[in-house]
Structure 1
Amino acid sequence: MTQAPILTLTLNPALDMSTEVHELVPNHKLRCTEPLLDPGGGGLNVSRAIKALGGDSLALVALSGLTGDRLAGLIRAEGVTFLSILGPGETRQSLTVKEEASGRQYRFMLPGPVWGEEERARVFTLLHATARPGGFSVISGSQPPGVPLDFPAQLAASMPESRVVLDTSGATLAEVVRNPIPGLEVLRMDGPEGEALAGKPMASREDTAHFAQALVWAGVARMVIVAQGAEGNVLADAEHRFFARAAQVKVKSTVGAGDSFVAAFVLALARGQSHADALALGSAAASAAVMTDATQLCRPEDVMRLLPECGVVEL
């Protein structure tokens, strides 16, 4: 199957460790189960899920120190094609702990090393050399400490002929809405972030779709996606507003659901599928991801089985 090139960027990756304890008790030594290790970080997870779904991508990953070396080994073991960017300091780690007694999940995220001007310039040069005209470039996950709020705009400017997909949050998301990135293809956010930007609750999917399309009409992006968790996902472009329901599944962990959505959605677009079909596949991938443990992503057999449940309606 033909596919447009996909590039993913992960500047603040993590060595993800997940384990379980019977109960979290303060001031006690807690005996954990054997930890699972996975490569982590938004863009890297997108590339991992794309490979699982039978697609191709090139992951640009900032790695440094002994943790970076270990992370590189895990990426190679999964067969993901990647280029290493020399990052500052030591690549961060993250820890996910499940409490067996309650079923609760606790996620501990370290900030990562601070980026300076030299490291940022190195990324711009590499992006300019690797982003393919007409291809898709995914900027996803947390921004590293030390970069300015408009860093995604600077990244996009270094690959002007690429279709940029941005999945971000917090102050970075607010900056993108205030000062749109020229030519941004896709902007994704979750429901609470959308409500924070709108300054009011969005009681219905129609309200959410109206908000998303208003951002499109304001020039923020050609497509805006708002994830609504267990309900589904809303997508708006200049002419249409779609809703894809989430499949009803037993939730093990929500970690990686957003990255699985982005992977399936972008892969579908890269294969020439419609916005509606891409939204359905993304919703099925997100639903599949919550069925897996900890830092694991969607399984292709689950995605295809759940796809019929993720019907798309026009709002």
Structure 2
Amino acid sequence: MDTARGVACLLVAVICLSCAAAAAARSPAARMHRHLKRLNKPAVKSIESPDGDIIDCVHISHQPAFDHPFLKNHTIQMRPNYHPEGLYDESKSNVASSSDAEKPMVQLWHQNGRCPEGTVPIRRTKKDDLLRASSMRRYGRKRHTIANPMSVNPTLLNEGGHQHAIAYVQGDKYYGAKATINVWEPKIEQPNEFSLSQLWILGGSFGEDLNSIEAGWQVSPDLYGDNNTRLFTYWTSDAYQATGCYNILCSGFVQINSQIAMGASIFPTSSYSGSQYDISILIWKVSK
């Protein structure tokens, strides 16, 4: 009887410990830890930016994009198989002089170092970044409700607090676009506000099947926790519902450049009646 009682007590204790471990694994803190681990890959080198960001130099084949099962054993295309007509091509000898060529983008973290070849710089996601989001699932994602920028003539619009100036073309087949964007640091004063300037390529409708590729600069305290002007990309294939994210916060965007970090601060920025700075964004579709 005593032996049976002892075995029963031991079994109850083991069950209780198992339940406690399972509950701990489901706790918000544990889920946040797992989410941060998925986003922040082991770094070959880490660089602290003057603005407090940590830039992790991650091996190119270990970036978050390759967490997607469709990209298992994916061969990284290090160079496009062609360049659009008129674009600077390193493989050609008759290129513009260095004085005519566009200057490379400078980001604030460059002041403290660079990532080695074979790695990609990734802005480290911190606990505070996740806590600012409405949920961990929605971190780095846009809301589905978004104004249609082509619903009226290009002008200054103000729809439900969303104010924007636009210029666009439509009605033909487009395989890419390029924009040179002046870089500013507008001050954001209200919660949930943001400011951006971007190149935006769209396909489909704004209902359910919108395909969108976006790139430019943005100031978004909700996403980054400060008022810095930052380089960003965004993509979606279903009108911002279940797919897509900013930068490389989900699978789908493969980076090959070792010098530019998505989501990192651009420096310097333009000033009124002072020096002007810009970035050039080029997006084009390559043939398979």
TM-score under structure 1 length normalisation:
0.24
TM-score normalised according to structure 2 size: 0.26
Larger radius of gyration: 2
Name the structure with the higher helix share. Answer: 1
